[in-house]
C-alpha cells in the first residue's frame, strides 16, 4: 500500500495540537507536529473562545506539515462539544464564540422547562441536561437580545466554524451537533420546536452531514501561503469523544467503554438511541457516533479528584511521580475509605483534601490521614463507581457486555485498570491513550477509501497499537467491598 498522510487537528478546552498520521501496510503511525494553548478570554464579565488564535495555530500546523516533506491527503478537526460561532449574511463571524463556562446560562434550563417540560426535552433529544448545552446558550442569548445572534443567519459548531475558515464552505457535522440538546437522535434532525421555544429561528441550523463528508479544499490563499496546495478538509467526528470512541480496538459490539482522564465517560455503542424512564432517571445521554451509531453514555468524575489533591500537596512542597503513587497505594490496607466521586462537594472545592475528609467523616467512616490513604481512597472509589454505572449499562444494553475498553490518558494507569477489572468482574482492555487523534485520522482514511467500515478501521487500529489486558482478581473481596461502597454512598 502506498503511504497516505493525514493531518489531525485535535482541540481541547485548554490546549490544542496538530498530528501527522501516516497509514501504510495496514497500520497507522502518528507524529505530533505542534502543540499550543487554548485560553478562554474574559471580557466584560463574559467568557469567549479566541477562534482567530485557534485559526492561526492551525495554520502553524499546516506550515509544520509542509516541512515534513510529504503530501497531505486531507485535514480533519475535532473539538469539545456544545459551543458554536454565529455567522452573518456576508459570511463574517459575529464576534468571538461564547465559551461554555460563561455564567449567562446559569438557571436557564429551569426557565426553559417552563416552556417545554424537562421530560419532553429529554424525550426529544436523549441528552442529559447541563446548563451549558447549546440549547440553553441560545436561549440565554435570545433573552438578552444579543446583537450577534440577532444579526446571524447561520450557526456553526466550533469544528465546523474552523473548517469554514479553512475552506469557505459551511456544514453542520452530526456528532458535534448531537451535543447541542437540539438534535433528535431518532430522526437525526434538529427539533425546530426547541429552537422556536428558545426564541431562535430554526433556519439558523443547516443541513447535517455525516463523518467522512468532504467539506471542501483549502482556500486559494491558504493553499498558496502554506504551499500545501488544495488539500481537502474532511468532516471527521467533530466531537472529540466521538473520534475517540471510533478508535476503540473492539472485535465486536459486546463491549462498554471508558474514556478516562480528568473526567470519565462510560458508555456503550448502539445502533439506536436508548431513551426511557430509566435512562432519564440515571441522566444518561445519547450522542452521535460514526456510521449513524449512538454513544449511550454517562459522565463520571475521573482523575480530577487526584489532580486537585496533588495540587495541594505540591503547594506543601511535595510532588509525586506516578510510580510512587502506585507504590504508596500498595502499602495501605484496602477498602477503608469510600467516597462518591460524583458528589457535588467534589465539583470544585477550595480544598479537595478537606472535601474528601468531610465526606468520609459525615458518613461514619474514618478519614484518610496520609497521602497514600487519599490515593487509595480515590482509586478504589473510582473503580466502585465504574462498577455502579456499568451495572446500569448492563440493565439497558441490548447485548451482553463482555469487556470494558479503557481509552485516553487513564489507559496508562495500570493500578486503576486492574482495580476496575476487579470491581466489575470483567476483563479490562487498555489503550490507545491517543484515541481521539487516531479516530480523527482513521475517519479521514475511510473518506480516502483506505478502509470501508468502522470494523475495518478498528481492525487496522488493533494491528497498529499495543494494548494491555487486565483480568479480574480477588472477586469475593471486591464484591463484599462494593456492598460497603453502596451503603456508604447510598
- Report, as residue numbers or ranges, the catalytic residues: 240
What is the radius of gyration, based on Cα positions, of the chain? Answer: 23
Write the DSSP string, 260-317. ESSEEEEEEEESS---SHHHHHTT-EEEE-GGG-EEEEEEEE-THHHHHHHHHHHHTT
Do 16 and 64 contact (CB within 8 A), yes or no?
A: no
User: Cβ(66)–Cβ(176) under 8 Å?
Assistant: no
3-state secondary structure string across 209-224: ECCCEEEEECCHHHHH
- Name residues whose C-beta falls within 8 Å of residue 7's C-beta, 6 or more positions apart in sequence: 18, 19, 20, 21, 33, 61, 62, 65, 72, 74, 75, 76, 231
**CA gap 80, 57 in Å, rounded:** 17
For residue 319, the Cα-to-chain-centroid distance in whole angstroms is: 28
Of 433, 447, 156, nearest to 290 by C-alpha is 447
Task: Say if strands 213-217 and 232-235 run parallel, antiparallel, or are unpaired.
Answer: antiparallel
Q: Yes or no: say if 182 and 283 are a contact pair by the CB < 8 Å rule.
A: no
Stated as kind and residue range, the H or E segment containing 469 is strand 468-470
Give the integer Cα–Cα distance in Å for 195 and 128: 17
The torsion defined by the Cα of 140, 143, 144 and 149, in degrees rounded to 10, comes to 80
Amino acid at each position: 500500500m502506498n503511504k497516505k498522510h493525514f493531518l489531525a487537528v485535535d482541540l481541547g478546552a485548554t490546549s490544542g495540537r496538530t498530528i501527522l498520521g501516516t497509514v501504510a501496510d495496514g497500520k497507522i503511525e502518528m507524529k505530533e507536529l505542534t502543540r499550543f494553548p487554548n485560553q478562554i478570554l474574559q471580557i466584560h464579565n463574559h467568557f469567549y473562545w479566541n477562534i482567530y488564535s485557534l485559526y492561526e495555530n492551525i495554520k502553524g500546523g499546516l506550515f509544520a506539515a509542509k516541512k515534513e516533506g510529504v503530501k497531505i491527503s486531507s485535514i480533519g478537526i475535532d473539538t469539545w462539544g456544545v459551543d458554536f460561532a454565529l455567522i452573518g449574511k456576508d459570511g463574517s463571524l459575529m464576534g468571538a464564540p461564547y465559551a461554555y463556562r460563561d455564567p449567562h446560562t446559569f438557571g436557564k434550563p429551569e426557565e426553559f422547562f417552563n416552556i417545554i417540560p424537562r421530560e419532553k426535552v429529554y424525550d426529544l433529544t436523549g441528552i442529559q441536561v447541563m446548563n451549558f448545552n447549546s440549547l440553553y446558550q441560545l436561549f440565554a442569548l435570545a433573552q438578552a437580545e444579543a446583537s450577534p445572534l440577532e444579526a446571524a443567519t447561520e450557526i456553526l459548531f466550533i469544528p465546523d466554524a474552523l473548517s469554514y475558515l479553512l475552506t469557505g464552505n459551511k456544514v453542520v457535522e452530526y456528532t458535534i451537533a448531537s451535543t447541542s440538546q437540539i438534535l433528535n437522535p431518532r430522526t437525526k434532525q434538529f427539533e425546530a420546536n426547541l429552537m422556536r421555544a428558545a426564541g431562535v429561528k430554526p433556519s439558523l441550523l443547516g443541513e447535517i452531514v455525516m463523518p467522512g463528508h468532504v467539506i471542501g479544499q483549502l482556500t486559494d490563499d491558504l493553499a498558496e501561503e502554506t504551499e500545501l496546495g488544495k488539500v481537502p478538509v474532511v468532516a471527521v467526528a467533530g466531537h472529540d469523544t466521538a473520534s475517540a470512541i471510533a478508535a476503540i480496538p473492539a472485535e465486536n459490539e459486546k463491549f462498554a467503554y471508558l474514556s478516562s482522564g480528568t473526567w470519565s465517560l462510560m458508555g456503550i455503542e448502539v445502533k439506536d438511541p436508548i431513551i426511557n424512564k430509566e435512562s432519564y432517571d440515571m441522566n444518561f445521554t445519547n450522542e452521535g457516533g460514526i456510521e449513524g451509531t449512538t454513544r449511550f453514555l454517562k459522565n463520571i468524575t475521573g482523575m480530577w479528584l487526584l489532580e486537585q489533591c496533588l495540587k495541594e500537596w505540591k503547594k506543601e512542597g511535595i510532588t509525586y511521580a506516578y510510580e510512587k503513587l502506585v507504590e504508596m497505594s500498595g502499602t495501605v490496607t484496602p477498602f477503608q475509605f469510600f467516597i462518591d466521586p460524583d458528589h457535588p462537594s467534589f465539583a470544585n472545592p477550595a480544598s479537595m483534601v478537606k472535601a474528601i475528609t468531610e465526606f468520609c467523616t459525615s458518613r461514619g467512616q474514618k478519614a484518610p490521614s496520609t497521602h497514600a490513604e487519599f490515593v487509595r481512597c480515590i482509586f478504589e472509589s473510582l473503580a466502585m463507581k465504574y462498577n455502579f454505572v456499568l451495572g446500569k449499562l448492563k440493565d439497558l444494553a441490548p447485548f451482553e457486555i463482555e469487556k470494558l475498553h479503557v481509552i485516553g490518558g487513564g489507559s496508562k494507569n495500570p493500578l486503576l485498570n486492574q482495580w476496575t477489572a476487579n470491581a466489575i468482574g470483567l476483563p479490562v482492555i487498555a489503550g490507545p491513550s491517543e484515541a481521539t487523534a487516531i479516530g480523527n485520522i482513521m475517519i479521514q482514511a475511510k473518506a480516502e477509501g483506505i478502509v470501508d467500515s468502522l470494523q475495518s478501521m478498528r481492525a487496522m487500529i488493533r494491528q497498529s497499537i499495543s494494548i494491555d489486558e487486565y483480568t479480574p482478581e480477588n472477586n469475593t473481596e471486591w464484591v463484599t467491598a462494593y456492598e460497603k461502597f453502596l451503603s456508604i454512598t447510598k
